Amino acid sequence: MLTARDWRLFWWAAVAAAVVEAFVVIVEAAVPAVRAIFHEQGRYSGLIGNPASLAGYLTMSMAVLVLLASAAKRRGRAVLAVAATAIVTALFLTGTRSGIVGLAAAAAVGIAVIFFSGRRAHRLAMAVGLGVAVVLLTAAFVAPWGALEQIGVPSGFGRVLNWRAYVNDPTRILEWKIALASFQARPLLGWGPENFQAAFDRHYDPALLRYSFSETVSDKPHNIFLEMLVAGGVPLLLAYLGLFAAAAWGIVRLRRQGSMTVVEAAAAGAMLVAYAVHGLFLFETYPTGLLFFSLLAFVAARMRSSSATEMMRPPFVFRIAAGGFAVVALIAGLMTVPASMSALHAIEADTPTIWTKNARFAFDAWSVRHREVVKMLARDFINRAVKNDETLPFFRDNVRIMRQQLEKEARWHPGDFTVQFMLGQVLAMEGELYASPDALQQSLAAMERADVISPRRQAVKFQLAKTLLLGGKSAEAVNVMRSVVAEDETLQEPHWFLALALTAAGDRVAGADELARALALGRLGKMRDEKNVQELLYVIEIYDEEKRYADIVPLYETLFDIDPKNAQWHANLAATYEKLGKPELAALEAQRAVEIDPTLREAADQFINRLKSIP
DSSP per-residue codes, 90-139: HHHHTT-HHHHHHHHHHHHHHHHHHHHHS-HHHHHHHHHHHHHHHHHHHH
Spatial distance between the Cα atoms of 60 and 14, rounded to a whole number of angstroms: 10
In a domain, 184, yes or no: no
Let me know if 37 is exposed, middle or buried by CB neighbors in 10 A (0-12, 13-18, 19+): exposed
Cβ 45 vs Cβ 239: under 8 Å: no
Residue 161 clears pLDDT 80, i.e. is over it? no
In a domain, 478, yes or no: no
| Total domains in the fold of the chain | 2
Tens of pLDDT, residue by residue over 22-32, are 999 999 888 88
In a domain, 116, yes or no: yes
Which residues have CB under 8 Å from 310's CB, separation 6+? none
Angle at 167 between CA 163 and CA 172, to 5 degrees: 125
Provide, rounded to the nearest whole percent, the portion of the chain with pLDDT above 90.
54
Average pLDDT, the chain: 86
Q: How far apart are the first and last CA of the chain?
A: 94
Which residues have CB under 8 Å from 474's CB, separation 6+? 468, 501, 504, 505, 506
Tens of pLDDT, residue by residue over 239-274, are 999 999 999 999 999 988 888 888 889 899 999 999
Residue 417, classed as helix, strand or coil, is helix
Q: DSSP per residue over 430-456, as a string?
A: HHHHTT-HHHHHHHHHHHHHHHHHSTT
Q: Torsion over CA of 405, 407, 412 and 416, rounded to 10 degrees?
A: 100
Cβ 398 vs Cβ 430: under 8 Å: no
Residue 164 clears pLDDT 60, i.e. is over it? no
The H or E element containing residue 474 is: helix 474-487
Spatial distance between the Cα atoms of 561 and 516, rounded to a whole number of angstroms: 20
* Domain coverage including residue 92: 4-168+262-275+296-304
For residue 307, report the phi and psi dihedrals to the nearest 5 degrees: -95, 145
Provide, rounded to the nearest whole percent, the portion of the chain with pLDDT above 70.
88
The pLDDT of residue 94: 86
In a domain, 162, yes or no: yes
The pLDDT of residue 386: 60
Overall average pLDDT of the 511-535 stretch: 89
In a domain, 573, yes or no: yes
Residue 531, classed as helix, strand or coil, is helix
Alpha helices in 282-391 (DSSP H): 286-306, 316-347, 352-364, 370-383
Q: Measuring CA to CA, how many Å separate 239 from each of 179, 199, 415, 501?
A: 19, 21, 28, 52
In a domain, 193, yes or no: no
The pLDDT of residue 43: 80
Contacts 24+ apart (CB under 8 A), 100-104: 100/55, 100/160, 100/161, 101/166, 101/277, 101/281, 102/55, 102/56, 102/59, 102/273, 102/274, 102/277, 102/278, 103/59, 103/62, 103/274, 104/137
In a domain, 350, yes or no: no
Residue 132 clears pLDDT 80, i.e. is over it? no
- Domain harbouring 576, CATH code: 1.25.40.10
Residue 80 clears pLDDT 80, i.e. is over it? yes
Of 67, 66, 133, 57, the residue nearest 90 (C-alpha): 57
In a domain, 328, yes or no: no
Of 451, 388, 397, the residue nearest 424 (C-alpha): 451
